[in-house]
């Protein structure tokens, strides 16, 4: 029997008829068609038309070690054959989850000895919500239920994840946030800093946390949650003054600090965790994405001793968990992934070699007439497309030029995302300098081509 693979058109047709994509306007998508990604190797993805594209988003911020890694494929295959599934409920456990938990305790900052496994970052943040509230109940302070987050934060798409996040379009669908979650303004200096210096603005936005805690009453506030650098919100790098002030406030009022490491964890900022880059001492760290480099779904919450000691010593049964908590195959792949990161020194490379190189070259783009600001840390970066550089005037309507630039980028063989009119990258950590040069050549060309389109805007 001969078997011919469907062509691009047939895939697109079936896709349109049956597949509801995440975060997608389906009627719009049906009109525009989809790009069918079929295989990947190293930092490149290939579509069904054979086009090779440099994936400067590492999938969706996750393929840290790059595509096609034999060790990860073998780890999955071996574990599938030996024990494809067993649960870790009812007094059972299995070697792969134990090994991964042990490895995580080794790479995590001191004071993080324990992990609760989930399947995604969203489930990790649902777990955070329940753990924070359980912790304060056990501490005899049951009023400390409110969690403070930030506008334009992203913490996932489940009900708790979307509520913790600060995305207005998500809140508008489904009557979110759920009670007990409130949001303060974000440290987005370029868009919201006005005449303040970045330093002054950072302090001002951190003090929004203090004002909110005092408004709610410190005895009612359980935790503050934030990404070290907001990812999906547009790679918002806070001014240097921001995090030290946030740390001071959390300590002063005794509220837990939850640092969402789903994007910044596992090397992206040139440190194992984004918390370390900013010198933070979190109580809980939700993780996912780079934990397995996206090869299989897995997430978790790294639980600091302050919380873990109470949950373990006094908590009794924690009525929470998932069928696939600590899935053996996902754990095997994640452990092999951490081995690669360690063996190849990817964190150190991003810290001292390829990260500084990428950032220096990315800053060149600030010379372009369309670019109002470039920013980034390690292997995550952004630039702002603006109509008037001097006045920081955005394009009107917002977001349209960003989509144009994104589409041009793909045509030029580069995945570069648009968040409104902010162009962002978060490439695989295994990029070599040659790949970075390729990325930059393409980015320059994308900006030049985008400028031609921008000329048509009034
Ligand atoms: N926290 C952060 C900081 C994230 O970026 C999640 C939690 C949720 O993880 P899961 O595994 O449940 O998706 C994320 C996810 C985008 C985009 O448009 C970003 C994410 C997810 C979907 C789209 O950049 N980040």
Q: What spacing in Å lies between the alpha carbon of 60 and ligand 1's midpoint?
A: 8
With a 6 Å cutoff on the Cβ, whether 155 touches ligand 1 is: yes
With a 6 Å cutoff on the Cβ, whether 261 touches ligand 1 is: no
CA 77 from centroid of its chain's CA atoms:
27
With a 6 Å cutoff on the Cβ, whether 154 touches ligand 1 is: yes
- What digits encode the pLDDT tens for the residues 185-241? 999 999 999 999 999 999 999 999 999 999 999 999 999 999 999 999 999 999 999
Q: How many residues are present in the chain? A: 458
Going by CA atoms, what residue is nearest to atom 17 of ligand 1? 232
Please state, in angstroms and rounded to a whole number, the distance separating the CA atoms of residues 63 and 263: 11
Cβ distance 267 to 347 under 8 Å?
yes
**339: which residues sit within 8 A by CB, 6+ positions away?**
71
Going by CA atoms, what residue is nearest to atom 16 of ligand 1? 232
Please state, in angstroms and rounded to a whole number, the distance separating the CA atoms of residues 213 and 235: 26
- For residues 49-60, average pLDDT: 97
- For residues 276-300, average pLDDT: 98
With a 6 Å cutoff on the Cβ, whether 262 touches ligand 1 is: yes
Q: How far is CA 344 from CA 265, 267, 348, 353, 418, in A?
A: 17, 12, 9, 13, 31
Q: What spacing in Å lies between the alpha carbon of 409 and ligand 1's midpoint?
A: 22
Residue 33 confidence (pLDDT): 79
Q: What spacing in Å lies between the alpha carbon of 453 and ligand 1's midpoint?
A: 30
Parse the chain into domains and list their residue ranges: 42-65+347-455, 71-183+220-343
Q: What spacing in Å lies between the alpha carbon of 155 and ligand 1's midpoint?
A: 6
Residue 449 confidence (pLDDT): 98
Nearest to 368 by CA among 439, 258, 448: 448
- For residues 246-274, average pLDDT: 98
Task: Say yes or no to pLDDT of 263 above 70.
Answer: yes
CATH number of 42-65+347-455: 3.90.1150.10
- What digits encode the pLDDT tens for the residues 237-251? 999 999 999 999 999
Q: What spacing in Å lies between the alpha carbon of 339 and ligand 1's midpoint?
A: 24
Percent of the chain with pLDDT over 90: 95
Residue 249 confidence (pLDDT): 98
Question: Which residue from 61, 63, 225, 232 has its CB within 8 A of the most atoms of ligand 1, so it is best to mutate?
Answer: 232
- At residue 422, φ and ψ (nearest 5 deg) are -100, 125
Q: What spacing in Å lies between the alpha carbon of 80 and ligand 1's midpoint?
A: 27
CA pseudo-torsion sign 53, 56, 60, 62: positive
Residue 73 confidence (pLDDT): 98
Q: Any idea which architecture 71-183+220-343 has in CATH?
A: 3-Layer(aba) Sandwich (3.40)
């Amino acid at each position: 029997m001969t078997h011919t693979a469907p062509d691009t058109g047939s895939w697109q047709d079936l896709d349109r008829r049956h597949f509801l994509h995440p975060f997608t306007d389906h009627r719009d998508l049906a009109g525009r068609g989809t790009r069918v990604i079929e295989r990947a190797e190293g930092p490149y993805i290939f579509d069904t038309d054979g086009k090779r594209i440099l994936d400067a988003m590492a999938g969706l911020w996750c393929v840290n070690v790059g595509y096609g890694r034999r060790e990860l494929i073998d780890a999955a295959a071996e574990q599938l054959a030996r024990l494809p599934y067993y649960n870790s409920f009812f007094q059972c456990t299995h070697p792969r989850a134990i090994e991964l938990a042990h490895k995580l305790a080794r790479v995590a900052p001191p004071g993080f000895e324990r992990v609760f496994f989930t399947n995604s970052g969203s489930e990790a943040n649902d777990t955070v919500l329940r753990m924070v509230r359980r912790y304060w109940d056990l501490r005899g302070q049951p009023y400390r239920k409110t969690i403070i987050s930030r506008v334009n934060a992203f913490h996932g798409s489940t009900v708790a994840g979307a509520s913790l996040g600060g995305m207005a379009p998500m809140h508008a669908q489904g009557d979110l946030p759920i009670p007990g979650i409130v949001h303060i303004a974000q440290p987005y200096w370029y868009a919201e800093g006005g005449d303040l210096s970045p330093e002054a603005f950072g302090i001002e936005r951190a003090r929004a946390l203090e004002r909110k805690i005092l408004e709610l009453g410190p005895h009612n506030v359980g935790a503050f949650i934030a990404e070290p650098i907001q990812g999906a919100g547009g790679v918002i790098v806070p001014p240097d003054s921001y995090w030290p002030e946030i740390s001071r406030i959390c300590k002063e009022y005794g509220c837990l600090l939850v640092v969402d490491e789903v994007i910044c964890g596992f090397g992206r900022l040139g440190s194992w965790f984004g918390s370390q880059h900013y010198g933070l001492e979190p109580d809980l760290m939700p993780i996912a994405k780079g934990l397995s480099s996206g090869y299989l779904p897995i997430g978790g919450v790294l639980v600091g001793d302050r919380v873990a000691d109470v949950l373990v010593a006094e908590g009794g049964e924690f009525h929470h968990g998932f069928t696939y908590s600590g899935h053996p195959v996902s754990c095997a792949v994640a452990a092999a992934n951490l081995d690669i990161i360690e063996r190849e020194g990817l964190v150190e490379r991003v810290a001292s070699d390829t990260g500084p190189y990428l950032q220096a070259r990315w800053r060149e783009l600030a010379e372009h007439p369309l670019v109002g600001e470039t920013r980034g840390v390690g292997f995550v970066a952004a630039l702002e497309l603006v109509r008037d550089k001097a006045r920081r005037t955005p394009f009107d309507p917002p977001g349209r030029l960003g989509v144009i630039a994104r589409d041009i980028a793909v045509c030029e063989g580069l995945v570069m995302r648009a968040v409104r009119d902010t162009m962002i990258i978060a490439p695989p950590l295994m990029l070599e300098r040659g790949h970075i040069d390729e990325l930059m050549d393409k980015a320059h060309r994308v900006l030049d081509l985008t400028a031609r389109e921008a000329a048509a805007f009034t």
